[in-house]
Amino acid sequence: MKFQRLRLSGFKSFVDSTELRIERGLTGVVGPNGCGKSNLLEAIRWTMGESSARSLRGGGMEDVIFAGTTARPARDFAEVTLTLDNRARTAPVGLNEDDVLEVTRRIERGAGSAYRMNGRDVRAKDVGLLFADAATGAHSPALVSQGRIGAVIAAKPAERRAMLEEAAGIAGLHVRRKDAEQK
Ligand code: ATP
Ligand code: MG
């Protein structure tokens, strides 16, 4: 699964609509401390279903919404769209007709967050399964946040096992098993 484009609006420091194209090969983001580099990676993880505000360096999930500065008022929503290359047709049935798959997450103050895939409302679980099957979930070892290396070294055995399961691409199976057990 390849990322093609990231579009942000009102997410953390990205108050204005911002679009990044992710081309083939290596993409580097450079800039001074505090300019928002880590926020970009967090925007990707958030859209992929990250449910822990703390791992996005916030106290609550609404902390991802632009909080305002002396010059600009706060926003009341944040929206991020991640565009995936679907030419290999890895998207789930029903969303698989197009060459691209757009996954959008939006949060409004006081109203929680919602997901869309190619414009259609979907559940958080659907987004979770999409990425879990591709071994690229929000907790994928492919996404290494600042300070994460130390965390891997200090992880408890069960946590380390979860990381290995993500890396092995079997995390999706666990999500499905849990689902089946509940039924
Ligand atoms: P470093 O090089 O130090 O790692 P960085 O480029 O990774 O820096 P980030 O950590 O991505 O920088 O960005 C931090 C900036 O984002 C801070 O200036 C912080 O005030 C701003 N920020 C975070 N959350 C919000 C928010 N909800 N509203 C407005 N600004 C925010
Ligand atoms: Mg950083």
Q: Which ligand 1 atom is the nearest neighbour of the CA of 146?
A: 4
Ligand 1 pocket by Cβ (under 6 Å): 12-13, 31, 33-39, 63, 65-67, 146
Q: At 77, is the pLDDT very low, low, confident or very high (cuts 50, 70, 90)?
A: very high
Ligand 2 centre distance from Cα of residue 179 (Å): 36
- Of the listed ligands, the closest to the CA of 34 is 1
Ligand 1 centre distance from Cα of residue 39 (Å): 6
* pLDDT tens digit sequence for 2-18: 899 999 999 999 999 99
Q: At 173, is the pLDDT very low, low, confident or very high (cuts 50, 70, 90)?
A: confident
Output the pLDDT for position 145: 78
Mean pLDDT of 117-133: 88
DSSP characters for the chain?
-EEEEEEEESBTTB-S-EEEE--SS------STTSSHHHHHHHHHHHTT---SGGGT-SSGGGGB----SSSPPPSEEEEEEEEE-TT--SPTTS-SSSEEEEEEEEETTTEEEEEETTEEE-HHHHHHHHHHTT--TT-TTS--TTHHHHHHH--HHHHHHHHHHHHT-HHHHHHHHHHHH-
Nearest Cα residue to atom 25 of ligand 1: 12
Ligand 2 centre distance from Cα of residue 38 (Å): 4
Ligand 1 centre distance from Cα of residue 36 (Å): 5
Output the pLDDT for position 6: 98
Q: Which CATH number fits domain 2-182: 3.50.50.60, 3.40.50.2000, 3.40.50.300, 3.40.640.10?
A: 3.40.50.300
Choose one of 13, 107, 148 to mutate for the ligand 1 pocket test, by most ligand atoms within 8 angstroms of C-beta: 13
Output the pLDDT for position 109: 96
